[in-house]
Amino acid sequence: MLRPEILAFLAVVKTGSFTRAAEQTKTSKSRVSQQVSSLEKTLGITLLHRSTRKIRLTDAGDSYYSECARAAAILEQARKNLNEQQDQVAGLIRLNSVGGLFSENMLAPAVIAFMQQYPDVEIQLDFSSAQVDVIAENVDLVVRMGQLNDSALIARKLMEIKTDVVASPAFIKKQGKPNQPQQLAQFNCLCGSLRKWHFQHKSSEQVQDVTVTGSLSSANGHILCRAAIEGVGIVRLNELYTDQYIQTGKLVSIFEQWQIPSSPVSLIYPKVRYKTKRIQVFVDFLIAWFENK
């Protein structure tokens, strides 16, 4: 952007009048005159011959005007080019997300469908960290699971995922099953990243937290689910892992009156004033995709 003094000088020469230049720049005639005088003082040259009837460029002013007008034209074209790029659904989108079955079965189909609709978009899909710093890291969008507290970010909820505590019928027949969450401490529980399980009663505000132990711990949900199906123990997993096995009877829910609160899955991004067209279109596409699921 050119300095205000230069813009005032260009406006005076273009309109041939301090009055019309003031109207064009939406300021006062005296302000335009001050700006041009300040520019002449800074440059150490006289740019304009002023009279009550006419304004005329000096030789130095004529040369300076030509260069400034050319610079202004270049900057204006750069602005137009940038706006055109902002309006195109093309270019790179960097997306970080939680992994596992959500990314494989829920997010990946949406990403692929978007790329089929917008073939000029390139997407870098990263599952390296669910807690990547959206502002500090070189990413455009992040998909996170769970509650969000960062006020510097915009969060758009994609869906909610239910979590259940389940076991196989064979395990329950052999070992029995707890009547309330606190009794889980007496059973073999298959653990992921959390050993403290939080429960809410379905018909009251009562809550229970229990720390569980067991013979198998793994960050891999597939392994924990398979072990539960084979009767090794009780497992806490989200519905993406357990739904199909509950429907076929290979797994059953442990509790009828107690539940684990659902986890929201959110698309988050920084509060920026300007977003590229591709980012805005991708955000809207993902929101609509998950609303229809």
CATH of the domain at 278: 3.40.190.10
From 87, 122, 137, the end of a domain falls on: 87
pLDDT at res. 277: 83
Is residue 249 domain-shared with residue 228, that is, in the same domain?
yes
Is residue 60 domain-shared with residue 80, that is, in the same domain?
yes
Cα separation, 255 vs 88, whole angstroms = 52
What does the pLDDT average to over 227-240?
Answer: 96
Is residue 128 domain-shared with residue 73, that is, in the same domain?
no
The residues near 85 (Cβ < 8 Å, ≥ 6 apart) are 91, 276
Q: What is the DSSP string of the chain?
A: ---HHHHHHHHHHHHT-HHHHHHHHTS-HHHHHHHHHHHHHHHTS--EEE-SS-EEE-HHHHHHHHHHHHHHHHHHHHHHHHHHHHHSS-EEEEEEE--HHIIIIIIHHHHHHHHHH-TTEEEEEE-S-TT--TTTTT-SEEEEES----TTEEEEEEEEEEEEEEE-HHHHHHH---SSGGGGGGS-EEBSS--EEEEEESSSS-EEEEE---S-B-S-HHHHHHHHHTTS-EEEEEHHHHHHHHHHTSSEES-SSEEEEEEEEEEEEE--S---HHHHHHHHHHHHHHHT-
Split at pLDDT 50, 70, 90, the class of 154 is confident
Strand 196-201 to 258-270 pairing: antiparallel
Does residue 292 register a pLDDT over 90? no
What does the pLDDT average to over 198-221?
Answer: 93
Does residue 75 register a pLDDT over 90? no
pLDDT at res. 108: 94
Split at pLDDT 50, 70, 90, the class of 59 is very high
The CATH code of the domain that includes 83 is: 1.10.10.10
Q: Could you list the residue range(s) of the whole structural domain that residue 188 is in?
A: 161-262
Is residue 8 domain-shared with residue 75, that is, in the same domain?
yes
From 58, 87, 116, the end of a domain falls on: 87
Does residue 260 register a pLDDT over 80? yes
Is residue 165 domain-shared with residue 248, that is, in the same domain?
yes
Is residue 97 domain-shared with residue 120, that is, in the same domain?
yes
Strand 189-190 to 234-238 pairing: parallel
Please state the domain count of the chain.
3
Does residue 150 register a pLDDT over 70? no
Is residue 150 domain-shared with residue 174, that is, in the same domain?
no
Does residue 130 register a pLDDT over 60? no
Cα separation, 3 vs 43, whole angstroms = 13
Is residue 133 domain-shared with residue 277, that is, in the same domain?
yes
From 37, 52, 87, the end of a domain falls on: 87
Is residue 55 domain-shared with residue 188, that is, in the same domain?
no
Is residue 145 domain-shared with residue 103, that is, in the same domain?
yes
The CATH code of the domain that includes 245 is: 3.40.190.290
Does residue 168 register a pLDDT over 60? yes
- Among 104-108, 114-118, 152-156, 173-177, the range scoring the smallest mean pLDDT is 152-156
pLDDT > 90 fraction of the chain, expressed in percent and rounded: 66
Does residue 269 register a pLDDT over 70? yes
Is residue 49 domain-shared with residue 184, that is, in the same domain?
no
pLDDT > 70 fraction of the chain, expressed in percent and rounded: 91
Is residue 156 domain-shared with residue 273, that is, in the same domain?
yes
